Amino acid sequence: MTPTVFRASVPVTLELPLSMVEAVAEVLGGSYDAPYSGAGATILDIGAHVGAFTLWANMRWPGSRIFAYEPHPQTFASLQRNTLQLPDVRCVRAAVYPSRQETLPFYSRFAGDGEAGVVDVLQRIFNSLPEQGMFEVPVIHPANLPLADIVKIDTEGAEAAILEAMDLEPVSLIILQYHFDEERERIKELLQPRFTLEYESALPWQPLLAESEYRSSLAGDHYGQLCFVNRAHERLRPVAAEVWIPATETAHAPADVAEASNGQAPGPYSPAASPDRRQPAARPIANNSPSLVYLYDLLAIMVMRDMKLRYKRSVMGIAWSLLNPLAQLAVFGFVFRFVLPLDIPNYTAFLFIGILAWSWFQGSLQQATGAIVENGALIGYPGFPVAVLPVVTVTSHLVHYLLALPIVVVFLLASGISFNAVAALLPVVVLIQFVLSLSLAFLVATLQVFFRDTQYLLGIALMLGFFLTPIFYDLSTVPARFHPFYRLNPMYILVEAYRDILVRGILPDVGSLLLLGLLSILLLGAGYRLFSRTSFRFVEQI
């Protein structure tokens, strides 16, 4: 059973780590909601992080007093700054846990980390907890918490223990994260039959276990969200789905942003939207089209985020992006120079240029298949320009391509090749490949939403395309009767253009390039049109 989401555009500027943008956007989009309205409640935000739920709840249930608990000193400072303009919010730097000790060891990988908590609990999630991430934090026993109408808990596995020690008599609504199937059943046993389960979600740990820091015992286990309501209480009233609008009288959030905004353009937020401003609606209210400056900034932020997350905690970092083409270069270079020699001048540079161009093309399309389905939190966030996601995938791989070009130059210079005026056409060829890759990225990203076999069909197509494109061999080695078919391959045109410009120092086939550029633009228009005309169905499909 899924929750009824009360969607709202909450344009705020938040101080938060770049890695938490998606999670915060999900919270501000209503991921903790339930179809119960009210005003003037007392709310406990246990595990407040940087304050996304606090800000959202302040609008969702206006006029409420909110107690926000966050133990990490740096994250707590961000929480205070993010809620500075909310007079009814009290921030408390403490962990909530059923312990009689005044302090407890706390572990966090870095400030603002979403996976931070009491060491005793986190030992069930991580293989090891490095000492440099541990420190003592103040502790509040759940029995000493204020009486509340609404309770939200996200403490990385301590939720059941906190609920067991709390006074739940006055509570109308409980929204929490759980981290193990055993904990989920324990929570249900604690709360039922006094509370009714409104909704629950379950996500497998298995996809996360590729990161070695997680315990292998989590395989087969689940984490997710639970929402319980005490229908006997009248402080909150059940309502149908709504879209609510921020009040026009607004205050400004702190302007100092540590690494990224929450995915919206910086602007005002409403600390006290009144109940009468909530209006029923059949669909979310559309935001105005974002400006080009905003789209550029968002693209830059998301490309940086993609690069950081891809090489997070990697010793070699972005250098790994060069290892795959270099490994291919070494294998193909050995085979086709010593085992099955091909009489191709400057074969190393010839081969490397082909591999890099194909790697950019292949990587863009492979990542684009998951651009929508793997970013559900962002897709559901009101006002987020969904079309930027395929652009991010192609641009990220373009960055890798451009970083590898200096190595190609070294190979060329070492081979005694000099550059001439024709090299000025290189940006034109790069632009044509970018447009072609982006047009296909929009297409495969859309198809993957509705037809999940797209990624597998694409894998087969790319494998065939690699061998049917003269990457490690020259067209002259192919029988003449097949040449017309090769010239229909857009990647053949691009790869040969790169080689003409960089290796041979001659003018590429300008006619073919211009035709390919025109077709790529037309295909981009068609791909984007398909993407935009079906994007309203993305949320329901993922």
Asked whether residue 1 is assigned to any structural domain, the reply reads no
List the Cα angle 60/62/65 in 5-degree steps.
110
User: What local confidence, expressed as pLDDT, does residue 5 receive?
Assistant: 43
User: What local confidence, expressed as pLDDT, does residue 377 receive?
Assistant: 60
User: What local confidence, expressed as pLDDT, does residue 314 receive?
Assistant: 58
Asked whether residue 122 is assigned to any structural domain, the reply reads yes
Range of the domain at 476: 292-541
Question: Residues 229, 306: one domain?
Answer: no
How many angstroms separate the Cα of 251 from the Cα of each of 11, 198, 357, 371?
Answer: 11, 34, 49, 34
Asked whether residue 326 is assigned to any structural domain, the reply reads yes
User: What local confidence, expressed as pLDDT, does residue 271 receive?
Assistant: 31
Tokens of 123: 């030992």
Taking the model in full, what pTM does it have?
A: 0.50
Question: Residues 301, 243: one domain?
Answer: no
Asked whether residue 8 is assigned to any structural domain, the reply reads no
Exposure string of 130-166, with b = 16+ CB inside 10 Å and e = fewer, is eeebeeebebbebeebeebbbbbbbbbbbbbbbbebb
Contacts with 249 (C-beta within 8 Å, 6 or more apart), sequence order: 270
Exposure string of 443-460, with b = 16+ CB inside 10 Å and e = fewer, is bbbbbbbeeeebbeebee
Question: Residues 273, 393: one domain?
Answer: no
User: What local confidence, expressed as pLDDT, does residue 528 receive?
Assistant: 94
Question: Residues 273, 298: one domain?
Answer: no
Q: Which residue has the tokens 């990220």?
A: 396
* Phi, psi (deg, nearest 5) at residue 505: 65, 30
C-beta of residue 491 within 8 angstroms of C-beta of residue 468? no
One DSSP character per residue, 325-389 reads: HHHHHHHHHHIIIIIS----TTHHHHHHHHHHHHHHHHHHHHHHTTTTTT-HHHHTSTT--TTHH
Question: Residues 242, 308: one domain?
Answer: no
- Work out how many domains the chain is built from and give that number: 2
On the question of a cis peptide bond just before residue 130, with omega within 30 degrees of 0, the verdict is no
Q: Which residue has the tokens 């709840």?
A: 57
Question: In the listed set 257, 279, 301, which residue is the last one of a domain according to the structure?
Answer: 279
Asked whether residue 355 is assigned to any structural domain, the reply reads yes
d(CA 153, CA 178): 9
Asked whether residue 66 is assigned to any structural domain, the reply reads yes
Q: Three-class SS of residue 175?
A: strand
Closest CA to 516 of 483, 486, 489: 489
Question: Residues 386, 421: one domain?
Answer: yes
Asked whether residue 6 is assigned to any structural domain, the reply reads no
Question: In the listed set 247, 279, 311, which residue is the last one of a domain according to the structure?
Answer: 279
C-beta of residue 177 within 8 angstroms of C-beta of residue 224? yes
Question: Residues 309, 245: one domain?
Answer: no
Tokens of 96: 């909530």
Amino acid occupying residue 465:
G
User: What local confidence, expressed as pLDDT, does residue 216 receive?
Assistant: 86
Tell me how crowded residue 17 is: count the other CB atoms within 10 A of its CB. Answer: 22
User: What local confidence, expressed as pLDDT, does residue 366 receive?
Assistant: 93
pLDDT by position in tens, the chain (length 542): 344 444 444 556 676 677 677 788 888 878 888 888 877 889 999 999 989 999 989 888 888 899 999 999 888 888 888 888 888 899 999 999 998 888 999 988 776 677 788 998 988 888 888 888 888 999 999 999 999 999 999 998 899 999 999 989 899 999 999 999 999 999 999 998 789 998 899 999 988 887 778 888 898 899 999 999 998 887 787 876 554 444 333 333 333 333 333 333 223 223 333 333 222 222 233 334 455 766 777 788 778 777 766 666 555 556 666 676 677 667 766 776 676 667 777 787 888 888 899 999 999 999 999 989 887 766 755 567 888 899 999 999 999 888 888 888 887 887 778 888 898 999 999 999 999 999 999 999 999 999 989 999 999 999 999 999 998 888 888 898 999 998 899 999 999 999 999 988 899 999 999 999 999 999 999 999 999 888 878 877 76
Question: Residues 260, 362: one domain?
Answer: no
CATH number for the domain spanning 24: value is 3.40.50.150
Query: Count H helices, E strands: the chain?
Result: 17, 18
Question: In the listed set 254, 279, 304, which residue is the last one of a domain according to the structure?
Answer: 279
Question: Residues 151, 260: one domain?
Answer: yes
Question: Residues 232, 345: one domain?
Answer: no
Q: Which residue has the tokens 């932020």?
A: 301
How many angstroms separate the Cα of 166 from the Cα of each of 56, 116, 178, 179, 536?
Answer: 24, 22, 17, 19, 42
* Phi, psi (deg, nearest 5) at residue 16: -160, 160
Question: Residues 216, 106: one domain?
Answer: yes
User: What local confidence, expressed as pLDDT, does residue 160 receive?
Assistant: 93
Closest CA to 180 of 151, 160, 195: 160
List the Cα angle 169/174/177 in 5-degree steps.
140
User: What local confidence, expressed as pLDDT, does residue 328 receive?
Assistant: 67
User: What local confidence, expressed as pLDDT, does residue 290 receive?
Assistant: 54
d(CA 430, CA 283): 41
Question: Residues 267, 304: one domain?
Answer: no
